[in-house]
Amino acid sequence: MGRQDHPATGYPADRVTGVTYDSGALIAAERSERRIWARHRALLLRRIVPTIPAPVIAQCWRGTPSQAQLARLLAGCEIESLDGTRARATGILAGRARTADIVDAAVVEGALRRGDLIISSDEDDLAAIAAAVSRRADIDHP
């Protein structure tokens, strides 16, 4: 018998413990792309609440009326603040990866800490950050 994929992610069901959304997921939701909305609904039905690091929201949010879909997505997610502890861990990771992209580093730091699948359109950059600390990030497109 073959592997059973998680219906919300397409990844093996026994490996999905959580999901972190990067900006690519938020942009897809804002554009009303069916795949991200189907995935989001399936996650919530399985009581998996996606996490979004606060810097990702800062990168995407402009507060315009055209962002109603994005606001709807955010209402069904856990927003992870960037407190002092998380900021230092993100800075250390960014330094080791030699990147100035704090948003990507925050996404990878949180996802690695929680064991989350990352939903992002920026697979190469995120994978490189994880590799800088000899880790592998599971990443899927929105």
The H helix count followed by the E strand count for the chain is 7, 5
Token pair recorded at residue 29 = 């939701």
Residue 130 falls inside a structural domain: yes
Token pair, residue 108, equals 């990878």
Assigned domain for 1 exists: no
Question: How does pLDDT run across 108-140, given as a tens digit for each residue?
Answer: 999 999 999 999 999 999 999 999 999 999 999
Cα(40)–Cα(55) distance, integer angstroms: 20
What pLDDT shows up at residue 25? 98
6 domain residue, yes or no? no
In a domain, 113, yes or no: yes
Report the predicted TM-score, pTM, of the whole model to 2 decimal places.
0.88
What residue numbers bound the domain in which 71 lies? 19-137
How many domains does the chain fold into? Answer: 1
Tokens at 45, concatenated: 């039905």
Angle CA(77)–CA(83)–CA(84) in degrees, nearest 5? 160
The CATH number for 91's domain is 3.40.50.1010
Q: Is residue 31 part of a domain?
A: yes
Would you say residue 108 lies in a domain? yes
